[in-house]
Amino acid sequence: MPVPLMMGQANARSFKAGEPRRRIRPGSEGWGRAVLLAYAQATVEACDLGAELAKRAALLLAVAPKLRAKGSAEVVKLLLNDDALPGSWSSSKLSARGARRLFERLQELAAVRELSGRPTFRLYGL
């Protein structure tokens, strides 16, 4: 779908032309070329991100057998299917404290990373 790809390219260099690097407007000279360049750049970035996420998912699956927590299989499945999980996530098999410890262990194994950068409400994902 082209819309999500293009949204990341809204401020791309391909939409700026001339000496003062003014923004190219729809319908003006060079607009079609700028859109094609933005699509190409967005495609490259999406492929690179997909390859990186595939590597991280493979690493998560490789370390999954090392996890001894009861709800770890469910956490691995959720991490593979969702963008992020809060560090305070809990289920009937895994308490919030156990989940925090599990996420810390996964982070030590470099299988997940902390995405929010905040000390209080943490989000973990690939």
Domains with residue ranges and CATH for the chain: 1-52 (no CATH), 67-126 (1.10.10)
Distance CA 9, CA 38 (A): 6
**What separation in angstroms does the CA of 49 have from each of 4, 23, 56, 118?**
14, 27, 11, 23
The model's pLDDT over 59-85, given as tens digits with 9 standing for 90+, comes to: 988 988 888 878 788 888 888 888 888
Distance CA 120, CA 62 (A): 29
Distance CA 38, CA 49 (A): 16
DSSP three-state, residue 104: helix
Place of tokens 């997909």: 50
The model's pLDDT over 73-126, given as tens digits with 9 standing for 90+, comes to: 888 888 888 888 887 787 888 888 888 888 888 888 888 888 888 877 888 888
pLDDT at 18 over 60: yes
* Mean pLDDT on 1-13: 72
DSSP 42-96: HHHHHHHHHHHHHHHHHHHHHHGGG---TTHHHHHHHHHHSS-EETT---SSS-H
* Mean pLDDT on 7-33: 77
Distance CA 113, CA 73 (A): 18
pLDDT band at 2 (very low <50, low <70, confident <90, very high): low
